Structure 1
Amino acid sequence: MIHEIDEALRRVLRGGALPEGTGEVVFETPTRDWAARRNTPTLNAYLYDIREDVDRRERGAYAERDARGVVVRRRQPPRWFRLSYLLTAWTARTEDEHRLLSGALACLLPHEFLPVETLPPVLKDLEVLVPMTVAVPPAESRSLADIWSALGGDLKPSLDVVITTPFPVTPVYDVAPPVTEGAAVSVRGRDGTPADSQPRMLRRTRNGGK
C-alpha cells in the first residue's frame, strides 16, 4: 500500500508542479552523497515517518454486499496510517529550488484529499476518501531539524506532506449464499392422511354447548 500511495502522490505532483519531461519526482533518502549526484530538477518526497491514526480505529467486522444488496462476505475494517513525507526541491540554483517548491505547494494546496483518479484500485474498491495535509506544523514530538541531522545533510526548506491512508486487514470471511427456498412440511393424522383432509371435530363444552 505504501508504494501505491507513493505513486498517487507522484501523479499529483506530475499533474501540476513538475510535468513529465521537466524533471524527476523521486522518493529517495536525501543524504549528501545522493544530493551530490543530482543533475536535473528534482522533487524528492522522503517518507520519514509511518504511524497509525488510532483515533480512526474501528472494532468488529462489516458486511460487503453485491449489486442486489446481498451480503457476500465479511471483513475487518481497515486500519488507518499517517504517511509523512519531507518534500524538498533540488536544482543547481537556490532561486530555482524555491520556485519549484512554490509550484509544489500551489499544486497540493487545492487537494484536501488525494484525487480519486490517482488512487490504486484497492482504495477505489473501499470507496473512501484519503486525507492529505500540506505544511501543517508537525507534532511537538517531531523535529525536522533532527531529521536533517540524522541524514547528515544541511537543513533545507521543505514541505511536510501527510497522507492518511487505510490499510486493508485480513482475513476476509465468505458468507454462505442466502436460503431462497423454504422446506415444505407435511402434517399427517394418525391414519396417515394429510391433516388438512381430516374431519374437524367440534369441541363440546362441559355444559353441552358447542
Structure 2
Amino acid sequence: MIHEIDDALRSLIGTRALPGVITDIEFAAPTRNWAARRNSPTVNVYLYDIREEVGRRERGPVPVRDEDGRVVGRRQPPRWFRLSYLVTAWTTRPEDEHRLLSALLILLLQHEILPAEDLTGALRDLNLSIPMTVAVPPPESRSLADLWSALGGELKPSLDVVVVAPFIASPEYPVGPPVVEQTVEVREPAGSVVDSATRNYRDRTP
C-alpha cells in the first residue's frame, strides 16, 4: 500500500500544484549528497515515519462484494497506519522555494482525504476514504529538527503531511453462493383441527 500512497501523492502534487513549474517529485531522503545532485525545481516527499493507528483497529470479518453488490467473500478488517511525509521544495532561490511551499500548502489544505481519482490498485479497490492532514504539529516524541540532524542536512522549511492508510492484514476467503430463491413448505402437525376435519371428511365419503 505504501507505494500506492506515493503514487497518489505524486499524482496530486504533479497535476495540481503549479503545473509546468515543478519538474521533479522525488521520494528519496533529502540528505546533503542528494541536495548536491539536484539541478532542477524539485519537490521532495520523504516518508520518515510509519505508525499504526491502534484506536482504529476493528474485530470481526467484513464482507467482500462484487460489482453487483453480492457478498462473494469475507476477510478481517484492514489495519490503519499513519504515514508521515516530510515535504520540501528545492530550487536555487529561497523565494522560489517559498512560492512552491505556498502552492503546496494551498493545494493540500483543500483535501481532507486523498482524491479518489488519484488512487490506484488495491487502494482504489477498497473504496475507502483515505484521511490526510498537513502542517499539523507532530507529537512531542518527534522533532523535525532531530530529523534534519539525522539526515545530515541543514534545517529547512517543510510541510508535515500525514496520510492514514488501510492495510489488508488477512487473506480473503470465499463464502457460499448467495440465496436467490427459496421454497416454503407448510405442513399441518398431527392432531390439529385441520387434520381432524380432514379425517372426518374422509370417514363420511362413500
Scaled to the shorter chain, the TM-score interval is: 0.7 to 0.9
1:138 equivalent in structure 2 = 138
Gaps in structure 1 of 5+ consecutive residues: 185-195, 203-210
2:189 equivalent in structure 1 = none
Whole-Å Cα distance in 1 between the matches of residues 52 and 112 of structure 2?
A: 19
Q: Does 1:40 align with 2:40?
A: yes
Q: Does 1:86 align with 2:86?
A: yes
1:62 deviates by 1.2
2:7 equivalent in structure 1 = 7
1:110 equivalent in structure 2 = 110
Superposed CA offset, 1:87-128 (max 9, x none) = 001111111111111111111110000000001132222221
Superposed CA offset, 1:39-83 (max 9, x none) = 100000110000111111100111223455543111111111110
Q: Does 1:174 align with 2:184?
A: no
2:152 equivalent in structure 1 = 152
**3-state secondary structure, aligned to 2:16:** coil
**Range 66-75 or range 41-50, more displaced:** 66-75
Higher helix share: 2
Superposed CA offset, 1:158-201 (max 9, x none) = 0000000111122211012246576x9xxxxxxxxxxx9xx947
Change (3 A) 1:21 1:66: same
**3-state secondary structure, aligned to 1:15:** helix
Whole-Å Cα distance in 1 between the matches of residues 38 and 82 of structure 2?
A: 29
Q: What amino acid is aligned across from residue 99 of structure 1 in structure 2?
A: R
Whole-Å Cα distance in 2 between the matches of residues 103 and 132 of structure 1?
A: 17
Report the aligned-residue RMSD. 2.4
1:28 equivalent in structure 2 = 28
Change (3 A) 1:28 1:22: same
4+ residue runs over 6 A deviation:
none
TM-score of the aligned structures, taking structure 2 as reference length: 0.84
Whole-Å Cα distance in 1 between the matches of residues 101 and 72 of structure 2?
A: 47
1:75 equivalent in structure 2 = 75
Gaps in structure 2 of 5+ consecutive residues: 186-194, 202-206
Whole-Å Cα distance in 2 between the matches of residues 104 and 116 of structure 1?
A: 19
- Give the number of equivalent residue pairs: 191
Change (3 A) 1:21 1:92: closer
TM-score of the aligned structures, taking structure 1 as reference length: 0.82
Whose Rg is larger? 1
Q: What amino acid is aligned across from residue 86 of structure 1 in structure 2?
A: L
